[in-house]
Structure 1
Amino acid sequence: MRQNPSFAMTDLAELRRVIVGNPWATIVSAPDDGLVASHYVVLLDEDRDDLTVVGHVGRPDDLIHGLGERELIVVFQGPHGYVSPGWYGDVAAVPTWNYVSVHLSGVPEILGAEDNLRVLDRMVELFEKRMPAPRRMWERPNDEVFVRRLEAGTVGFRLTPTKVVAKRKLSQNKPAETVETVIAELDGDGPYANPALAAEMRRAHEGRAGNHA
């Protein structure tokens, strides 16, 4: 991802917030036979306070990616959406796409079976706890046999990134009144309404306003 200093995200707390809020990640690597991408849930490592993440891939994706042997990129995509040039007023303008994205690069560490199970258990707990009747991994008499078989079909990993490229392109190069118009349109009921993106823009620009106070 090409970086632009005007759009760079560097605040650790903000980067962690984006990762937590958007755990469905894209894993990209470049093996000898060409680029490959996979999609999996990836979480922050709960035992760390940096950008270390944990996840798993299903076999044989570990071999396809050369997991643990070569560098890969994990991409987290935050809110994104279309911005019409008509929202800029009667000026020369082109359409654009506003977005938030975090790229973590490095060579992952392969987890042992018990650590992988803990990550799998945490993933199930994280998403099931919102359900009216959560289904957890170990709650039925025969679940352990099933879960152990499930774990054997996956390969867990931990990635402490050696390179981080994070970007939020949210109209920071536009005048304040234009930004307010874009946010209002995204918060509205038009064909490109996008409340999540509006909230992200509001957050970014409130931060800028605070920095210049």
Structure 2
Amino acid sequence: MRQNPSFTLASEEGVKRLIREHPWMTIVSATDAAGLVASHYPVLLDETANGIVLLTHVGRPDEVVHELGRHEVMVIVQGPHGYISPGWYDANPAVPTWNFVTAHLYGTPELLDADENLRVLEALVDHFEDPMPEPRRMRGTPENSAYADRIAAGTVGLRIPITRFVAKNKMSQNRPDETVDRIIGELEGDGPYASPALAAEMRRTHEALRAARA
């Protein structure tokens, strides 16, 4: 991903926030047998680790197709994004653009044993079930436990220590404040390109920029 100094997201904590808030990711491998391979899985941060460490799983035989453990993979996380019309700028000639926040994370996966894999699967289920009014657990009952053991056998758990990342937060930082406010207003409206999530991300970015200038 080509970087632009105006839009670089260099903060490890900023990337961690992106991962926490957008845990559906794309895993890309450059394999010897099949060339480029991509799969999509939910990913959690290992909050006990130093740096950025991802926890996830793949369904068999994806670990073979991706040749996991043999080489570095790229994991792509994508946050809010959307079309920005030139009509939201001013009366001057302009072209449209696309605002977005994304990160490319690089590391070599470690394949987990059966017990560790089960713990990762349980953590994933708990993470997404916790907000539910009546959370379902993988091993909440003997019947659930037996079923979970059968399902887990068809998966492979992964721990991916991230050794480097490239991240970009393009939120109209090159536009004056009045234009930014107009863009946010359009994104918060009811037009064809309204996006409250992108508006919130822009607000977060520009509030930090304005505070730094104050």
Q: TM-score, normalised by structure 2?
A: 0.96
Cross-structure match for 1:66? 67
Q: Where does the alignment leave 5 or more consecutive residues of structure 2 unmatched?
A: none
Question: Is 1:5 matched with 2:2?
Answer: no
Q: Secondary structure at the match of 2:127?
A: helix
Mapped to 1, the partners of 2:61 and 2:109 lie a distance apart of: 16
Give, in angstroms, the shift of residue 40 of structure 1: 0.2
Amino acid at match of 1:197: L
Give, in angstroms, the shift of residue 50 of structure 1: 2.2
Question: Is 1:192 matched with 2:211?
Answer: no
Cross-structure match for 2:23? 23
Cross-structure match for 1:124? 125
Q: Secondary structure at the match of 2:106?
A: strand
Q: Secondary structure at the match of 1:157?
A: strand
Q: Secondary structure at the match of 1:142?
A: helix
Cross-structure match for 1:180? 181
Give, in angstroms, the shift of residue 47 of structure 1: 1.6
Give, in angstroms, the shift of residue 141 of structure 1: 1.8
Q: Contact conserved, 2:53 with 2:159, CA < 8 A, in 1?
A: yes
Cross-structure match for 1:99? 100
Mapped to 2, the partners of 1:183 and 1:49 lie a distance apart of: 35
Q: Where does the alignment leave 5 or more consecutive residues of structure 1 unmatched?
A: none
Mapped to 2, the partners of 1:69 and 1:137 lie a distance apart of: 30
Give, in angstroms, the shift of residue 127 of structure 1: 1.0
Q: Secondary structure at the match of 1:91?
A: coil
Cross-structure match for 2:77? 76
Cross-structure match for 1:148? 149
Cross-structure match for 1:157? 158
Mapped to 1, the partners of 2:49 and 2:80 lie a distance apart of: 25
Q: TM-score, normalised by structure 1?
A: 0.96
Mapped to 1, the partners of 2:79 and 2:196 lie a distance apart of: 13
Mapped to 2, the partners of 1:131 and 1:180 lie a distance apart of: 35
Give, in angstroms, the shift of residue 143 of structure 1: 2.4
Give the CA RMSD over aligned residues: 1.1
Mapped to 2, the partners of 1:199 and 1:156 lie a distance apart of: 34
Amino acid at match of 1:13: E
The number of residue pairs the alignment matches comes to 213
